[in-house]
A and B are shown apart, each in its own frame.
Chain A
């Protein structure tokens, strides 16, 4: 069964450093998403991406964040200068048609980001 994969599973970084979280969505999917879950809190939407551009973003997704689909398979989330409060589990998701038209979002296993 096709699945979303994410690397690394755990990333530890120093405050102020740049990190890139990587995702390989399901191959025929066209819509891509990043969510995060701070420990003990709910899963929060960050950004959605379709046709090589951001289609929607949340207030959390400020200028420190960017997304990219550098090739036909990877989807990345970059945090330019990490802060302590960026420590969270980051989930990538993809869907083949727009959610709500019947397409469910498939989630990856997550990358745990720890900012020291």
Chain B
């Protein structure tokens, strides 16, 4: 059951450059999407979210883009910083019927100096 997929298990980006993390989903009932960041031995930390009525949401260095027709969302981090190195999870929700988050498998981002 891979309703939310992150096809890149890892990504390496130089400090100061843009990091782009991608996520695809198959369930058209999902209407709210979130990105979480996770460090080792810690729980996921909420980063940013987007409702399906929008196609972009920005918060500081983080921007999430949603392409509903392609069932695709992406997280842009500009500029990338070494402290951004972590595993990033995409998650989706059907706000009409459920409170559970469906997570992707995660992308490990490494920001190098």
Contacts and interface: CB of A to CB of B under 8 A. Distances in A.
Interface of A: 4, 31, 33, 35, 41-45, 48, 50, 55-56, 58, 91, 93, 98-101, 104-110
Given A43-B103, A105-B101, A100 B44 contact: no
Interface in B72-113: 89, 91, 93-95, 98-106
B60 interface: no
A100 B32 contact: yes
Nearest to A57: B100
Nearest to B96: A100
12 contacts: A4-B43, A33-B99, A35-B103, A43-B91, A43-B103, A45-B101, A48-B99, A91-B44, A98-B95, A99-B93, A109-B43, A110-B42
Contact of A104 (B41, B42, B46, B104): B46
Interface string B4-29: 00000000000000000000000000
Contact of A42 (B32, B46, B106): B106
A98 B99 contact: yes
B34 interface: yes
A100 B98 CA distance: 9
Contacts of B95: 98-101
Interface of B: 31-32, 34, 36, 41-46, 49, 89, 91, 93-95, 98-106
Nearest to A91: B43
A48 B105 contact: no
A106 B99 contact: no
A55 B106 CA distance: 27
A99 B36 CA distance: 14
A107 B100 contact: no
B43 A108 contact: yes
A37 B10 CA distance: 18
Contacts of B93: 99-100
A45 B43 CA distance: 14
A31 to B, nearest CB: 7
Nearest to B36: A107
A41 B105 contact: yes
